[in-house]
C-alpha cells in the first residue's frame, strides 16, 4: 500500500483523532479556548505526523474530505459543550481549526462549512475559529475576498496562523475582517536570545494593537518567553509551558485545573 491509499481509507476506518492544545489568557489565569490538531493512527504505520500527511493530502485533494472531517468533529464537540453547559471552567469558549490554503481556495468552501455547522446543530458560531495562513490570502483575488466575506456572514472567528512567515504583503490586514494574529513560534522561540526576533515580535504585537486585532503567542516553552511577551502586552499564550496538544479527555480535565 502506498501512503496515499492508506490515507484515502483513513476517514471511513475512523483512524483520525483531534488533539486539543489549550490557549491560556494569562490575566484571567484561565484556558479560553484550544487549537485542534489532527492525529492519524494507522494499523500498519502507527502514528503519522500531520507534517507527513497534510502535504500529501493537499497534493491529492484528500484535504477537502479530511478538512471537512476536522471541522465536523470540532463542531460536534462545541455543540456538545453548548448542550451540556460544559466546559466547566466557564472561560473556555472556542475551538480553533487549521484550514489549508487548498481548502480555502475551493469555491464551495464557505458552503461546505455552512452545511457542516448546520448538521452539527451548533448555535453560537463565534465558538468556532478558523486559522488561515497568509498563503490563503496571498492573491487578494476576487474569490478569496468573497470567501472571507462569506465566512464573516456565517459568524465564525478568523485568525492568521504562523503570522510573519508567509509570502503575503500586509495590505490584506486593511481589507480583510480578521480577529487574531498568531505570532509564529519561530519568533517566540528566539525572542530571548536574538534581538532581531525580539524586534519582530514587538512590531507584530504593536501593529495588531493598532489594527484592533488580538494576538496569540504560539510555542511558548518557558517563563522567560512568557514574561517578555506579557510585558509587550500579549495576553493569550499557547505552548508546551502550559500543555502539549492532548486527547479530549485530558483537555477537559485540564480545564478544571488551575494554571
The residues binding ligand G (CB under 6 A) are: 21, 37-38, 49-51, 54, 70, 98, 100, 161-162, 185, 218-221, 239-240, 245
- Among residues 120 and 159, whose Cβ is nearest to Na ion? 159
- Among residues 129 and 161, whose Cβ is nearest to Na ion? 161
User: Which residues ranging from 141 to 170 are in contact with Na ion (CB under 5 A)?
Assistant: 161-162
* 35 touches Na ion by CB under 5 A: no
Q: Could you tell me the smallest distance in angstroms from the CB atom of residue 130 to Na ion?
A: 14
| 97 close to 50: Cβ distance less than 8 angstroms | no
- Among residues 87 and 219, whose Cβ is nearest to ligand G? 219
Q: Could you tell me the smallest distance in angstroms from the CB atom of residue 237 to Mn ion?
A: 14
Q: Could you tell me the smallest distance in angstroms from the CB atom of residue 74 to ligand G?
A: 9
- Report residue 7 CA to chain centroid gap: 22
Q: Could you tell me the smallest distance in angstroms from the CB atom of residue 113 to Mn ion?
A: 17
User: Which residues ranging from 175 to 204 are in contact with Na ion (CB under 5 A)?
Assistant: none
Q: Select from ligand G, Na ion, Mn ion, none the partner in contact with residue 49, using the beta carbon and a kind-dependent cut-off of 5 to 8 Å.
A: ligand G
* Residues within the interface to Na ion (CB under 5 A): 161-162, 218
Amino acid at each position: 500500500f502506498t501512503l496515499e491509499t492508506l490515507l484515502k481509507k483513513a476517514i471511513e476506518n475512523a483512524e483520525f483523532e483531534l488533539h486539543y492544545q489549550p490557549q491560556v489568557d494569562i490575566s484571567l489565569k484561565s484556558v479560553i479556548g484550544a487549537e485542534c490538531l489532527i492525529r492519524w493512527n494507522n494499523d500498519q504505520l502507527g502514528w503519522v505526523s500531520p507534517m507527513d500527511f497534510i502535504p500529501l493530502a493537499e497534493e491529492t485533494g484528500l484535504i477537502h474530505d479530511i478538512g471537512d472531517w476536522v471541522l465536523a468533529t470540532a463542531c460536534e464537540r462545541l455543540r456538545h459543550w453548548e448542550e451540556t453547559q460544559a466546559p466547566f471552567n466557564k472561560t473556555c469558549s472556542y475551538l480553533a481549526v487549521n484550514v489549508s490554503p487548498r481548502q480555502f481556495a475551493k469555491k464551495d468552501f464557505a458552503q461546505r462549512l455552512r452545511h457542516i455547522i448546520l448538521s452539527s446543530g451548533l448555535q453560537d458560531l463565534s465558538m468556532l475559529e478558523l486559522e488561515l495562513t497568509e498563503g490563503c490570502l496571498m492573491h487578494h483575488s476576487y474569490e478569496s475576498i468573497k470567501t472571507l466575506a462569506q465566512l464573516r456572514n456565517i459568524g465564525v472567528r478568523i485568525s492568521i496562523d504562523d503570522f510573519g512567515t508567509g509570502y503575503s504583503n500586509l495590505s490584506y490586514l486593511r481589507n480583510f475582517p480578521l480577529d487574531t494574529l498568531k505570532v509564529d513560534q519561530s519568533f517566540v522561540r528566539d525572542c530571548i536570545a536574538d534581538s532581531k526576533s525580539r524586534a519582530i515580535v514587538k512590531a507584530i504585537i504593536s501593529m495588531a494593537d493598532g489594527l484592533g486585532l488580538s494576538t496569540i503567542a504560539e510555542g511558548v516553552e518557558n517563563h522567560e518567553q512568557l514574561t517578555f511577551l506579557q510585558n509587550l502586552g500579549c495576553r493569550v499564550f499557547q505552548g508546551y509551558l502550559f500543555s502539549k496538544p492532548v486527547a479530549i479527555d485530558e483537555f477537559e480535565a485540564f480545564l478544571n485545573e488551575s494554571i
